[in-house]
Structure 1
Amino acid sequence: MTTTTTVDPTNVDPSNEAQAQAWDGTEGAYWAAHPDRFDTALARYQPAFHAAADVGPGDRVLDVGCGTGLTTRAAARAAGDGAALGVDLSARMVEVARATAEAEGLPNARFAQADAQVHPFATAGFDGVISRTGAMFFGRPDVAFANLARALRPRGRLTLLTWQPADRNEWIQVFARTLAGRELPPSPPGQPGPFSLGDPDHVRELLTAAGFTDVAFDGLAEPEVYGRDAGEASAFVLGLLGWMLADLPPAERDRRTEALRAILAAHEGPEGVTLGSAAWLVTARRP
């Protein structure tokens, strides 16, 4: 994979260098080019996530792994005369987030390219920390959650949306079987990735060790929308996961591409192409 890394390496923890190269390279660029598609895929989770964050007027909110900023903008609106800061490793996504917030007239939504695992946030500088499918990518989640706990004021609230294990998420199993020809194996312990925070016992241990209390989990299951029809959904998924086909002979690539389109067509419905997903809504507080 070819990447262009603009994150200052002095501000990225060594355990996050691979993530910085991906998110500040071609992977992050793809997300930045398709913000509406990614936000639509997660749209069913947003109301519960936003409600759990419980942002109120005057609050100061930190959004970790903010992507193109939808959750940061929602927090900024709820904060009124407060503010929301979104941070992400991707310069391209941060650029899109800033431009969108400006276009929507949200001067209290601010953005920075930063590694939240080690960034020197002001101690007790935030009333809430949120992360919608972003916290699973820390190289050292123990260090990261300790840093986020330090950034929260006493009784400040942490709200995470994390994927449940891969075997409960139809979307990734369909894509892995069809494109890679195999089921996705369980995430290796301690390795960053979409399903690294899928085990509630592991997450509770991490958060408790970082100094959080009142750790709670709410299991959610929602359909994810990948496109209005199979053609649109197939193009989107291949743009994201086409690397799974890179080493195959052309005929096999074509066969798997057609298989993907066929299975997505079988999932077409009134809302478009939908696949099942399951996530944990995690909340905790700093004492």
Structure 2
Amino acid sequence: MSATDHSGLMDRIYRHQRHIYDVTRKYYLLGRDRMIDGLGVPPGGTVLELGCGTGRNIVLAARRYPEARFYGLDISAEMLETAKAAIDREGIAARVTLARGDATDFDAETLFGVEKFDRVFVSYSLSMIPGWEKTLSAAMAVLRPGGSLHVVDFGEQERLPRWFRAMLRAWLAKFHVEPRATLRKELEAEAGKRASSVFFEALYRGYAVKAVVGA
């Protein structure tokens, strides 16, 4: 699927859902707040979210790290409209820059005027991105020395009942979401290219996974 096709798909899916997205997803997009708490952004640091959606994570991270600057990239114009409104309501527009783009292939300096970031995070987006492996490479490429990539997404649900796994996957498929079975392998491959460390953790009996690559 081309970036243009994927952008149109995301806009169609979220044109109306974006208004209730955060209320409904809070019950099953688990581990996001734990990831934000673990970012450990240095004072005055820069943070990029790939697939920023409604801006929910950026708002919470901006509260948690009031001295940092935040940047959000999303392929959906509909989601970015909601994100901008959320950021304006929070009064943090001076610290946040949003841009429309493809998380698998983007030029951070052109979009944001920033070439490298202290932290990059991806929250429940890899499971929706065609060619998601390229997002990992793109994320690692824009990290400053000593920076880190943080990921949270659906896991393989390996310790949950089979009926639950089947029901969840059928539900996710309606939104073009697919857990990435090779996520750990791909993260380790990216880390190996840069002699970086990888921390990988299964959460909630495999319902979700959380990973950190780098410092």
What interval of TM-score do these two structures reach, taking the shorter chain for normalisation? 0.7 to 0.9
1:31 maps to 2:24: no
Instruction: Return the match for 2:166 from 148, 168, 173.
Output: 173
Asked if structure 2 preserves the Cα contact closer than 8 Å seen for 1:215 and 1:283, the reply is: yes
Alignment check: 8 A CA contact 1:19 1:137 kept: no
Match of 1:194 in 2: 178
Say yes or no: does 1:219 pair with 2:205: no
Cα distance change of structure 1 residues 52 and 120 upon mapping to structure 2, 3 Å threshold:
same
Kindly indicate whether residue 210 of structure 2 is the aligned counterpart of residue 281 of structure 1. Answer: yes
**Deviation of 1:146 (Å):** 2.1
| Partner secondary structure for residue 38 of structure 2 | helix
- Pick which of 71-80 and 87-96 moved more: 71-80
Instruction: Name the counterpart of 2:84.
Output: 98
User: How large is the Cα RMSD of the aligned pairs?
Assistant: 2.9
The Cα of 1:40 is off from its aligned counterpart by: 1.7
Change (3 A) 1:169 1:84: farther
In the alignment, what sits opposite 2:147?
156
Whole-Å separation in 2 of the counterparts to 1:284 and 1:175 = 28
Superposition map of 1:242-257 within 5 A: none
Native 8 Å contact 2:133 2:186 kept in 1 = no
Preserved contact between residue 37 and residue 64 of structure 2 (Cα < 8 Å)? no
Q: Is the 8 A contact 2:136 2:187 kept in 1?
A: no
Question: Following TM superposition, by how much is the alpha carbon of 1:80 offset from its aligned partner in structure 2, in angstroms?
Answer: 2.0
Q: Distance in 1 between matches of 2:102 and 2:55?
A: 16
Q: How does 1:1-287 map to 2 (within 5 A)?
A: 15-25=2-12, 27-42=13-28, 44-107=30-93, 108-122=95-109, 124-165=115-156, 173-174=166-167, 193-196=177-180, 198-199=181-182, 201-208=184-191, 211=194, 213-221=196-204, 278-285=207-214
**Residue 137 of structure 1: how far off its partner (Å):** 3.1
Unmatched runs of 5 consecutive residues or more in structure 1? 1-13, 185-191, 223-276
Would you say the 8 A contact 1:20–1:90 is kept in 2? yes
CA distance in structure 2 between the partners assigned to 1:67 and 1:132 by the alignment: 9
3-state SS in 2 of match to 1:33: coil
Counterparts of 2:117 and 2:59 in 1: how far apart (Å)? 16
User: In 1, are the aligned partners of 2:136 and 2:190 still within 8 Å (CA)?
Assistant: yes
8 Å contact from structure 1 (residues 60, 126) kept in 2: yes
Q: Could you say if the C-alpha distance between residues 212 and 100 of structure 1 is closer, same or farther in structure 2, counting changes exceeding 3 Å? A: farther
The 8 Å contact of residues 53 and 80 in structure 2, kept in 1 or not, is answered as yes
Distance 1:44 1:143, change over 3 A: closer
* Structure with max Cα Rg: 1
Query: 2: distance between equivalents of 1:209 and 1:141?
Result: 18
User: Alignment partner of 1:24: what SS?
Assistant: helix
Structure 2 alignment gaps of length 5 or more: none
**Amino acid paired to 2:135:** A
Question: CA shift at 1:176, angstroms?
Answer: 5.8
Cα distance change on mapping 1:201 and 1:68 into 2, 3 Å:
closer
- Cα distance in 2, alignment partners of residues 143 and 43 from structure 1: 23
Q: Structure 2 counterpart of 1:24, which letter? A: D
- Larger mean Cα displacement after TM superposition, 122-131 or 98-107: 122-131
> In 2, distance between residues paired with 1:175 and 1:162?
14
| CA shift for structure 1 position 127 | 0.6
The answer (yes or no) to whether the contact 2:55–2:83 under 8 Å persists in 1 is yes
- Counting aligned pairs with the same residue, the percent is 21
